[in-house]
Chains A and B, each alone.
Chain A
Amino acid sequence: MFIALSPSHPDPMYKQVTDQVKDAIAAGDLKPNERLPSVRELSEALNVSAITIKRAYQDLETEGYILTRAGLGSFVAEVDRDALRNRKLDELRTEMTRIVRTAAKFGIAAEDIVALTRQVEEQ
Chain B
Amino acid sequence: MDTILEARNLTKHYEDFSLRSVSLEVRRGSIAGFFGPNGAGKSTLVKLLAHQTPSHMGTIRVFGLSYADRERDIKNRIGYVPQEPPFYMDKTVRWTARFAAPYFARWDGGGFYGLLDQFKVNPLKKVKHLSGGQKKLLSIAFALSHGAELLILDEPTAGLDVVYRRALLDRLRAFVADGEKTVIVASHITDGLDEIAEDVSFLTDGRIVLHEDKDDLLSRWKWIHYKDGALPQAVEDRLTSVQRQPFGNRGLTGDFPAVRADLAPALAAGDAKVENASLEDILVSLIKGA
Interface residues of A (CB under 8 A from B): 1-4, 6-8, 37, 41-42, 45-46
Contact = CB atoms under 8 A, between A and B. Distances in A.
Contacts, number: 29
Interface class of chain A by DSSP? loop
Contact of B247 (A3, A6, A8): A3
Give the dominant DSSP class at B's interface: loop
Given A8-B275, A46-B247, 19 more contacts: A1-B247, A2-B225, A2-B227, A2-B247, A2-B248, A2-B270, A2-B271, A3-B247, A4-B225, A4-B248, A4-B250, A4-B273, A6-B275, A8-B276, A37-B247, A41-B246, A42-B247, A45-B245, A45-B246
A45 B246 CA distance: 7
A1 B248 CA distance: 8
A76 to B, nearest CB: 15
A37 B246 contact: yes
Contacts of B273: 4, 6
Interface string B10-45: 000000000000000000000000000000000000
Nearest to A4: B225
A7 B278 CA distance: 11
Interface string B231-264: 0000000000000011110100000000000000
B12 to A, nearest CB: 39
A49 B227 CA distance: 22
A3 B249 CA distance: 9
